[in-house]
Amino acid sequence: MPITEIVLVTVLILLAPFSIAGISLINTGMGRSRSAAHSLLTSLCIFAVAAGAYVICGFAWQGYIGAPAHVFVAAGRQWNWLARGPFFLRGIDFNDAPISLALCLQIFSVGLAALIPLGACLDRWKLSAACASTALFAGWTYPLFAHWVWGGGWLAQLGINADMGHGVIDAGGSGTIHAVGGLTALSVAWILGPRRGKYSLEGMPTAIPGHNAVLILFGCFLSLLGWLGLNSAGAILFTGAAPGRVALIAINTTLAAGAAILAAVVITGLRFGRPDVSISANGWIGGLVASSASCAFVSPIEAFVIGAIAGALVTYSVEWFELHFGIDDPGGAISVHALGGIWGLLAVAIFASFPASQVGIGAGRFGAVSTRDAGQALAQIVAIATLIGFVLPLTYGLNFALNRVWPQRVAIEGERQGLDLYEFGAGAYPDFVTHSEEFGQFR
Amino acid sequence: MPITEIVLVTVLILLAPFSIAGISLINTGMGRSRSAAHSLLTSLCIFAVAAGAYVICGFAWQGYIGAPAHVFVAAGRQWNWLARGPFFLRGIDFNDAPISLALCLQIFSVGLAALIPLGACLDRWKLSAACASTALFAGWTYPLFAHWVWGGGWLAQLGINADMGHGVIDAGGSGTIHAVGGLTALSVAWILGPRRGKYSLEGMPTAIPGHNAVLILFGCFLSLLGWLGLNSAGAILFTGAAPGRVALIAINTTLAAGAAILAAVVITGLRFGRPDVSISANGWIGGLVASSASCAFVSPIEAFVIGAIAGALVTYSVEWFELHFGIDDPGGAISVHALGGIWGLLAVAIFASFPASQVGIGAGRFGAVSTRDAGQALAQIVAIATLIGFVLPLTYGLNFALNRVWPQRVAIEGERQGLDLYEFGAGAYPDFVTHSEEFGQFR
Amino acid sequence: MPITEIVLVTVLILLAPFSIAGISLINTGMGRSRSAAHSLLTSLCIFAVAAGAYVICGFAWQGYIGAPAHVFVAAGRQWNWLARGPFFLRGIDFNDAPISLALCLQIFSVGLAALIPLGACLDRWKLSAACASTALFAGWTYPLFAHWVWGGGWLAQLGINADMGHGVIDAGGSGTIHAVGGLTALSVAWILGPRRGKYSLEGMPTAIPGHNAVLILFGCFLSLLGWLGLNSAGAILFTGAAPGRVALIAINTTLAAGAAILAAVVITGLRFGRPDVSISANGWIGGLVASSASCAFVSPIEAFVIGAIAGALVTYSVEWFELHFGIDDPGGAISVHALGGIWGLLAVAIFASFPASQVGIGAGRFGAVSTRDAGQALAQIVAIATLIGFVLPLTYGLNFALNRVWPQRVAIEGERQGLDLYEFGAGAYPDFVTHSEEFGQFR
């Protein structure tokens, strides 16, 4: 890896944590004022536990292209399914740039992914349970799927082993970070059940507005900044994009977010008579999420289209989960990250073209010619099927088991008081007078 | 462009959006609590529309040095007045670093410039009208002037064509971003008229304090961070400053902001008996704005002086517009960006010295000797005259016409309810108890 | 200095101001709502004054390795005790990268250090006095100690002159920035005395909760981002760490913060029955502070241990100062920065190993072999002794003298009204209804 590329990727990685700050603020704003401190302190703890678990065993199992791995044989080919690195980072050579950079980026990526479930579990998830769930997520679920896509695992090998284009391509983590995080959000929200007061006795959802729109919308700005780093660092490290493409990646990321929020504003404006602030913000993040997988391999106009579709999807999906599935997702995490991420993976199949021969672990197999072939589409679909058919049951099962051992939901009294008072003994905004009408409408 | 320079400029550009986040927060804090969500969501939409319009046609008309352009002939010389690039970025080679980097920086710059009018139009500007006005701004007004200064247009050519120094120099966009944005703010605020309750029946202005000083002052920090990127990336890309000057640019930018806020604190303290928080924050931003044009070509002490003067100017100007022109500018956008920007252009004439021969499109025409000549001063004055004599009428006319087609001001009832409730059906801070005394004092 | 290294360090430095924004937000959140604007405007002014004073004389006295210096002779060796650079940066060659980069980083570092005392002096420190105290700090105290450690002064020379390892090693500024700032915080808080209402008539402290936990916890995220820049830029510039180590530094910094907050959450949870939000946030920052000195020279696991110990120390220390010393430190600045910084210096002695021969001003004296010797431990202890035995009395004396000339504490009436109303005539949150019960319990 040339030194200039190391310098570039290093700095891009250091921008990535802004996405963590941004998503944390959005989650907090989407929740109630009486659990605002809980949401943010839990975010910091989740980030800390995720980093710790990942360092202990996650990175060992995720690995990187070329690292030793557990292998199974099928159809006469060898497929990697789990890396065999050392625990506790023992023996990692931090002077070996691609490895140390990938590790550093992954610590921030796993932290971001681990925060996604919190958005769906606001106002009712115990701090201790969130930490335990995160340890399972960052120590096992995330590294497993990330190994398959980014670590030279079987999904990445679909290209060379099964002639499916370049294998699964996910530059910035639409699937690896967001769909995995979003499906975990779905699992935990499902297990926790809806907040008291969310559904009427007849089962109709009521709107519980987020307590601070400024936090939500400011979080959107911060998230964009983090994504500029995440997408470009991931594209270079995990799909071999040329460093000169960072400007294009930044343009694409920005346009996708912009198109998504405009789509959400227009659609909610048309459907409800007035634009909806929370859904519009969710649209923006959905656009970012969807832009990630293909960010280096589409044109700005294509990125705009990808973002607009993501914004529209989120708009409908938020209502759909709430109304038809009875899942209470205050932060919209499932729609934004699971659905947005899956759409991002699919968008690679539809829009991406690969200009250089270095893409993926089959680098050099194709010539310099652009390829937009059916094989690539198949690879992306296999990835989506794996997410829904394998990752979702896995993460549901892990959290279901955890819930047996250590119930994840706070006691009823905790929801009534607010998590801040119940778990920490103090509110987030002690000097401000707040409303508390909503306490009546229990279910 | 050497690869190390590409890496440096790429990353500097990615810091620029912090200025967008910062200015958005400041605007929001300067407005009323009952339009806080409106202000921030409008900011995100303005950014999205600006990026979209710029990609569709703005960049085609702005162009870059060396791109094909429409030309007129005067005084026996050819002058560029509009670039002739392709719409929708068709055919742009994203691997060609100076072009793709300039495009990327410009998407953030036009987004920042387009946000400036919002500061002057808080609490009364429709979301839809703001988006429409932004489309005109980012699609036409901004690219036109930016072509003239940064795209090799006639203002840049003043050096080689009319012997006015290096032609107009505006490294970080004092004129191109801020004066253009600030004059548009003046136009729209003029057309909208003041907020209900701003002026008494006798025409005396009342103070309507910004609803959240924390947002305002935190926005100042974020803006500094964005400016570090904006100023240095602009200086390298548009005036050929050496990459090694970034440290100097960062020091100058910081000192200008610091000097400006100290000036504003001292002056408001002396005049009113107590420092004024909003005006001091405006001073800080005014210092940043004024530092931009000359950031790479002055010493730290000169930057300090430029900033201090900017801070003082803003202090007096805010009151002056309010008192003598009857213009209600809640965010101080006109004083900060229009006046600060014009002062920044002028400061080049007074303080800048150009150490290298690569500056401007007349690169190499002068030797390596520093030049601080009368011709340069003339060029800067021509730029200022163009802003006041051409850009202001243009942007006033465009927004006047828009206002005929689509009235830009919200209905009276909207102002009474607050824009959040009126346009979105929900407030920004639903859990908090807020005052609403000010409703009586209508005009 | 190779151009790629210049590019890397330049950009790392530009991330450093996020720490300033983060610490400012934390301080503001830890204070009362009725002095929130005061806290943030004072932060901006402190930053401005610090930058100004540092440019006027601070940098001249701090200098850099190899600059001319005042020397004394002891034990047959020459020891530098003060640099002899030009005032007002006259004659600084901004194209000479190591010098201009060090200057730029130091302007941000001194700004950060100067903000630390504000955390301990919230709700009662006059704006004017804070500016005056900052001028003394940034013009004299900070540069003096920074010269000794980073500028080739006698503490750095302990290695070559007295055979104490590499001399004092403080890569990111645990001692130079934080301990110096934290001891100044102790001095000023001591001189000011506790807030009205903090201690009962019997001398028992009451809890005055910070007014906004969201600001505090969001500030933790921002601080991490700033520290990524601070630690890595400092490690490269001041201890000769290889640029390829930035990924390791980022990982270490993140893990230290994470370990510290987990330690604080667990310990406060065990001791008080419930985790404490403010102390946990202080733990996070304490972890960052402690990570700085050794960030490039420890393994991730060691960084985790350093952070966990820092988090535990802060937890006990906050209570200890309040209970046994009668010092009212609303932001926990003394525990976090003074104690955390001293622990960071000590951690170098315990954990650091130096892989390369370029470390410190005795570069090349040792071979490429790792050294973790008793001499290094001695050097670190000498630095700590100097901080406690010399810097603390110095900064106490300076602020004591200042207090005679210009009393630093606001009048009683000012505390009752809140600093916002008293010094600026307007509150930070005019639209929100706030509580004001705590006014009764005067002492």
Q: Of the ranges A157-166, B124-133, C34-43, C390-399, which one carries the lowest mean pLDDT score?
A: A157-166
pLDDT digits (tens, 9 = 90+) for B138-177: 999 999 999 999 999 999 999 899 989 899 999 999 999 9
In chain C, residues with a C-beta closer than 8 Å to the C-beta of A44 are 217, 220-221, 261, 280-281, 284
Strands (E), B188-233: none
Q: Which chains touch C (3 or more CB pairs under 8 A)?
A: A, B
What proportion of chain B, given as a percentage, has pLDDT over 90?
85
Contact call for C225 and A430, based on CB within 8 A:
no
Show the 3-state SS of chain A. CCHHHHHHHHHHHHHCHHHHHHHHHHHHHHCCHHHHHHHHHHHHHHHHHHHHHHHHHHHHHHCCCCCCEEEEEECCEEEEEEECCCHHHCCCCCCCHHHHHHHHHHHHHHHHHHHHHHHHCCCCECHHHHHHHHHHHHHHHHHHHHHHHHCCCCCCCHHHHHCCCCCCCCCCCHHHHHHHHHHHHHHHHHHHCCCCCCECCCCCECCCCCCCHHHHHHHHHHHHHHHHHHHHHHHHHHHCCCHHHHHHHHHHHHHHHHHHHHHHHHHHHHHHCCCCHHHHHHHHHHHHHHHHCCCCCCCHHHHHHHHHHHHHHHHHHHHHHHHHCCCCCCCCHHHHHHHHHHHHHHHHHHHCCCCCCCCCCCCCCCCCCCCCCHHHHHHHHHHHHHHHHHHHHHHHHHHHHHHHHCCCECCHHHHHHCHHHHHHCCCCCCCECECCHHHCCCC
In the predicted model, is pLDDT for residue C439 greater than 70? no
pLDDT of residue A442: 47
pLDDT of residue C71: 95
Contact call for C276 and A424, based on CB within 8 A:
yes
Q: What is the mean pLDDT of chain B?
A: 93
pLDDT of residue B443: 42
In chain A, residues with a C-beta closer than 8 Å to the C-beta of C276 are 424-426
pLDDT digits (tens, 9 = 90+) for B223-256: 999 999 999 999 999 998 888 899 999 999 999 9
pLDDT of residue B385: 98
pLDDT digits (tens, 9 = 90+) for A50-79: 999 999 999 999 999 889 999 999 989 999
Nearest to B218 among C7, C40, C420 (CB): C40
Nearest to A251 among B24, B40, B107 (CB): B107
pLDDT digits (tens, 9 = 90+) for C157-184: 998 999 898 999 999 999 999 999 999 9
ipTM for the predicted complex comes to 0.96
Supply the pTM of this predicted model: 0.96
In chain A, residues with a C-beta closer than 8 Å to the C-beta of C304 are 52, 55
- In angstroms, the separation between the Cα of residue B397 and the nearest Cα of chain A is 26
In chain A, residues with a C-beta closer than 8 Å to the C-beta of C261 are 44-45, 48
Q: Which residue has the tokens 């699937």?
A: A175
Residues B79-100 have a mean pLDDT of 91
What residue in C sits closest to B305 (Cα-Cα)? C52
Distance set, CA C136 to CA A42, A116, C334 (Å): 40, 47, 19
- In angstroms, the separation between the Cα of residue A387 and the nearest Cα of chain C is 29
Tokens matching residue B427: 């407030």
Contact call for A274 and B104, based on CB within 8 A:
no
Classified by CATH at the fold level, domain B12-431 comes out as Ammonium transporter fold (1.10.3430)
pLDDT digits (tens, 9 = 90+) for B389-434: 999 999 999 999 999 999 999 999 999 999 999 999 999 999 999 9
In chain B, residues with a C-beta closer than 8 Å to the C-beta of C233 are none
Q: Which chains touch A (3 or more CB pairs under 8 A)?
A: B, C
pLDDT of residue C368: 44
Residues B16-44 have a mean pLDDT of 97
Q: Of the ranges A331-335, B310-314, C346-350, C360-364, which one carries the lowest mean pLDDT score?
A: C360-364
- In angstroms, the separation between the Cα of residue A12 and the nearest Cα of chain C is 10
Contact call for C247 and A10, based on CB within 8 A:
yes
What residue in C sits closest to A24 (Cα-Cα)? C218
pLDDT of residue A30: 97
pLDDT digits (tens, 9 = 90+) for A338-362: 999 999 999 999 999 887 666 777 6
In the predicted model, is pLDDT for residue B440 greater than 70? no
pLDDT of residue A181: 98
- In angstroms, the separation between the Cα of residue A135 and the nearest Cα of chain B is 32
pLDDT of residue C364: 61
pLDDT of residue B97: 80
Q: How is chain C split into domains, by residue range?
A: 12-431
In chain A, residues with a C-beta closer than 8 Å to the C-beta of B28 are 214
Contact call for C275 and A424, based on CB within 8 A:
yes
In the predicted model, is pLDDT for residue C440 greater than 50? no
Contact call for C248 and A94, based on CB within 8 A:
yes
In chain A, residues with a C-beta closer than 8 Å to the C-beta of C228 are 14, 17
- The list of chain A residues with pLDDT below 50 reads 368-369, 439-443
Contact call for C49 and B262, based on CB within 8 A:
yes
In the predicted model, is pLDDT for residue B358 greater than 70? no
pLDDT of residue C91: 87
- In angstroms, the separation between the Cα of residue B298 and the nearest Cα of chain C is 11
Q: What are phi and psi of C209, to 5 degrees?
A: -65, 145
pLDDT of residue B368: 44
Q: What is the mean pLDDT of chain C?
A: 93
Nearest to B431 among A247, A258, A434 (CB): A434
Measured distance CA(C87)–CA(C405) in Å, rounded: 26
CB pairs under 8 A between A and C: 164
In chain A, residues with a C-beta closer than 8 Å to the C-beta of B7 are 4, 7-8, 243
What residue in A sits closest to C219 (Cα-Cα)? A21
Measured distance CA(A185)–CA(B425) in Å, rounded: 29
